[in-house]
Amino acid sequence: DGGITQSPKYLFRKEGQNVTLSCEQNLNHDAMYWYRQDPGQGLRLIYYSQIVNDFQKGDIAEGYSVSREKKESFPLTVTSAQKNPTAFYLCASSIVTEANEKLFFGSGTQLSVL
Amino acid sequence: AQTVTQSQPEMSVQEAETVTLSCTYDTSESDYYLFWYKQPPSRQMILVIRQEAYKQQNATENRFSVNFQKAAKSFSLKISDSQLGDAAMYFCAYSGYNFNKFYFGSGTKLNVKP
């Protein structure tokens, strides 16, 4: 079945450590996104990518980095510069056409600081 | 930038009753898409309903329907015959007609009482 796979489900980061969250999709979607969700809050956009080898900053990109070397993969690195990384991270994808379809979401990664 | 506002942080409804969740948005575009997403305790984001702004007819999906008021920039979700499984966070979202970021509201937590 087609879908988006995020791993790991839970991740713990030590002080000063960089960690990478994986996101893979087999939906053949061009666009991929990373959102951050804090408790009781909505989704805030970290980065998004419309095509391979290209990506743009969202509203809260500081302390994060991404790459888009393959159409199906869009990993997110939470760097040590992100001082408050504890949150739920959601990866999503969509078809890029004149008519935006909808966002397909992965099951998320909960990142916590040790 | 587009903004999406959900003014009801939490609501409660009796099982089998009807409830309406509110959403307003701000945009200068004439063509766009609006969405309601459901996030149950599993935290998996699920699309509930989608509305194209150029369509005057309100979208419906089984027990879920919307009241789309384009001039007022209002997009409310009505859930009829509420069921225990409807208990979740509900997020309103906006996307431009051409490829654009998806903007989310802060969410409304819906409680369903047996």
Tell me which chain A residue has its CA closest to the CA of residue B98.
Answer: A98
Chain A partners of B37 at a C-beta cutoff of 8 Å?
103
Of the listed ranges A76-90, A93-107, B18-32, B43-57, the least confidently predicted one is A93-107
Question: Tokens representing A100?
Answer: 């935006």
Token output for B103: 């903007």
Distance between alpha carbon A100 and the CA centroid of its chain, in Å? 19
What integer pLDDT is reported at residue B51 of this predicted model? 93
Report whether A34 contacts A91 (CB < 8 A): yes
Tokens 């040790």 locate to: A114
pLDDT band at B101 (very low <50, low <70, confident <90, very high): confident
Residue in chain B lying closest to A94 (CA)? B99
pLDDT at A99: 57
Chain B hits for A42, Cβ within 8 Å? 4, 6, 91, 104-107
pLDDT at A5 exceeding the cut of 70: yes
**What is the DSSP annotation of A10-25?**
EEEE-TT--EEEEEEE
Residue position matching structure tokens 């329907």: B65
The CB density around residue A85, as the number of other CB atoms within 10 Å, is 20
Query: Are β-strands A109-113 and B10-14 bridged in parallel, bridged antiparallel, or unpaired?
Result: unpaired
Contacts with B28 (C-beta within 8 Å, 6 or more apart), sequence order: none
pLDDT for B2 = 76
Task: Kindly determine whether residue B45 and residue A102, on different chains, have CB atoms separated by under 8 Å.
Answer: no
Torsion sign (Cα): A98, B43, A84, B10 = positive
**Mean pLDDT value across residues A73-102:** 87
B106/A100 CB distance under 8 A? no
Q: A42 vs B105: CB contact, 8 Å cut-off?
A: yes
Q: What is the DSSP letter of A37?
A: E
Predicted pLDDT of residue B17: 98
Tell me which of A67 and A103 has the higher pLDDT.
A67
Stretch B101-110: mean pLDDT, rounded? 93
Residues in chain B within 8 Å Cβ distance of A95: none
Mean pLDDT, residues A99-104 taken together: 74
Percent of chain A exceeding pLDDT 90 equals 75
Average pLDDT over residues B73-86: 97
pLDDT, averaged across chain A: 91
Q: What 3-state DSSP class applies to B84?
A: helix
Q: Which of B35, B52, B106 sits opposite A42 (nearest CB)?
A: B106
* Greatest mean pLDDT among A5-19, A63-77, B98-112: A63-77
Q: What is the pLDDT of residue A100?
A: 57
